[in-house]
Amino acid sequence: MINQADLGLLDGFERALINHRLNMVYQPKIALADGQLKRVEALVRWDDPKLGKVPPSRFVPLAERHGLIDQLTQWGLRTTLRQWIEWRDQGVDTCIAFNISALSLEQLDFPDLVERMCRALDVPTDRLVLELTEGSTQPLIKLMDTLTRFRIKGIGLAMDDFGVGYSTLMQLRQLPFTELKIDRFFVDDAVTSADSRAIVASIIQLARSLDLSVTAEGVETEAQLHLLCDLGCDVAQGYWIAEPLEPELLGQWQSDWAKRWAALSKGRGRTSRPVPVAAGSRN
Ligand code: C2E
Ligand code: CA
Ligand code: CA
């Protein structure tokens, strides 16, 4: 059963999808070893003339429930891969992180489809990382074959929102992930709460021992960034570094950020331990 409000939303969303009225924005993630742009996370946006800005947390689950998720995923991925080519041609060298619904993974030929899209648009598969969260329909562990096929094709796999919801240590051990993303819930009060700080430190250690790259999301303050550097986190993402950006703003952000990072490093040189170097082999 679908209620009246969701029905209106679903109808509007379907029209926006068909008429190409959705947008992708891109949030930079930086390597904490050197401040360089590591990759960008693609995030979908829907600004409806009648409904206004509808957040993805509202329409993505609706698309999942009503058979529109594959269409959304394919449109979003194609748009993002084309954008990567545009950046490359402008001299912006980066990788893409793309959110995938666990439902799309149930399509057996999904890894082949993603590979074909990369090939058709001339994007090397090792420039792509798929971010996955545990779906409520079936545990990721049941999708082992699909996930392994992505890795064989050179596509990276990040476990998103680690530490909340359904993600488990068992899955981390058994599934071929390349990256772990610490949920922003823990990053949020890591500076002020010893408990959250201990959790963040333990997740970073866990990722290290499993040879996974570790990203902290939701960095909203300079103090959080310093703490994450000190704890040896590899990558950071959050509003303090950059909000999700329109694609044409990435180049400008990169040069502004280089100046901010230089100033930060200077400050850290006087007051803190050196920034730890992340393992170079991790993607
Ligand atoms: P997510 O994958 O965990 O994405 C991160 C969310 O946190 C984004 O919200 C981003 O704008 C927000 N964020 C980034 N930095 C900060 C910060 O410093 N503080 C706070 N408070 N928030 C921050 P957004 O764009 O609203 O997306 C929400 C969720 O919707 C995403 O969570 C993801 O699960 C889903 N989503 C977004 N785009 C797509 C998409 O294209 N496909 C699929 N399947 N899901 C998507
Ligand atoms: Ca994500
Ligand atoms: Ca997340």
* Ligand 1 atom at minimum distance from 181 CA: 3
Q: Which ligand is nearest to the CA of 242?
A: 1
Q: What is the DSSP letter of 65?
A: H
Quote the CATH superfamily of domain 27-42+67-282: EAL domain (3.20.20.450)
CB atoms within 10 A of CB 276: 13
Q: Which ligand is nearest to the CA of 97?
A: 2
The pLDDT of residue 272 is: 45
Name which residue sits closest to atom 29 of ligand 1, judged by CA.
57
Alpha carbon of 160 to ligand 3 centroid (Å): 5
3-state secondary structure 127-191: HEEEEECCCCCCCHHHHHHHHHHHHHCCCEEEEEEECCCCCCHHHHHHCCCCEEEECHHHHHCCC
For the Cβ of 101 lying below 6 angstroms from any atom of ligand 1, the answer is: yes
The pLDDT of residue 60 is: 96
Task: Enumerate residue ranges in the chain where pLDDT < 70.
Answer: 135-138, 165-167, 270-283
The pLDDT of residue 278 is: 38
The pLDDT of residue 2 is: 77
Give CA–CA dist 245/29, Å, rounded.
12
Give CA–CA dist 232/255, Å, rounded.
25
For the Cβ of 161 lying below 6 angstroms from any atom of ligand 1, the answer is: yes
Residues whose CB is under 5 A from ligand 2 (ion)? 99, 131, 160
Task: Name the H helices within 56-136.
Answer: 56-65, 69-89, 110-121
